[in-house]
Structure 1
Amino acid sequence: MSSKAKRVLPTRPEPPSVEQILADVQGTHPADPVFLLPAEPHRDHDPSPGFPSPGRQEAAAEKRERLYRQSRSYVEMNQRLQESRDQLRDQCEELRRVGAALERGITEMRQKAF
């Protein structure tokens, strides 16, 4: 038999409070890489890759706007689908109740007829 020492893991630190998070975020520099959007990759051979042309900036802005609208549309469609699913579930349950009541009614009529 071998005895393995039990591994004791250190306890996790408490998560930061909202005040600590806000203080941390407010203390950062605006140019912090965490708060910058990644640069759009260049697909052609532009002589000045670090400085996109105004037309390219507008195209990137339009693309972001299109993606934003697409995302909003997806979220709205997802919400409508969830509402429809809930509505269909309720209607299905109602149909089951009505079907069971109909079956009971048919059974009662058959018993009275015979």
Structure 2
Amino acid sequence: MGSKSKKRMVLASRPEPPTVDQILADISRAVDDDPVFSILDGSAAERAAPPADSPVEVLAAQCWRHLEVNQRLQEAGGLLRLQTEQLQAVGDRLHRDLEEVKGQSG
């Protein structure tokens, strides 16, 4: 038969949420090394950061340096392209001026 013939199970009602006083009492009874409250110590970065001399920390520092150097190289490449274009424009103008001077003298 279909699901219409099944009786619905009555669920128990939800308990009332704790009061502020009950929450504070529960927190005050927690031990210092309670894992639930240990995440509140320090920032997320401090909790996730490995020890300063760990291989992970060394590799992370190398990665950051690589990214910084790569960014500086890209900026330098853009500057070099701009300067190359400027030099080519100046060289073209110099050649035109030389041709003009040769035409005037001869």
Alpha-carbon distance, 1:58 to partner: 5.5
How many pairs align?
57
Alpha-carbon distance, 1:62 to partner: 1.2
Larger radius of gyration: 2
Q: 2:57 aligns with which of 62, 65, 78?
A: 65
2:61 alignment partner AA: R
Q: 1:84 aligns with which of 58, 67, 76?
A: 76
Q: 1:97 aligns with which of 65, 74, 89?
A: 89
The runs of 5 or more residues in structure 2 that have no matched partner are: 1-49
TM-score by length of 2: 0.50
Aligned residues: CA RMSD: 1.9
TM-score by length of 1: 0.47
Structure 1's 91 and 71: CA in aligned 2 closer, same or farther, altered over 3 A?
Answer: same
2:77 alignment partner AA: R
What fraction of aligned residue pairs are identical, expressed as a percent?
37
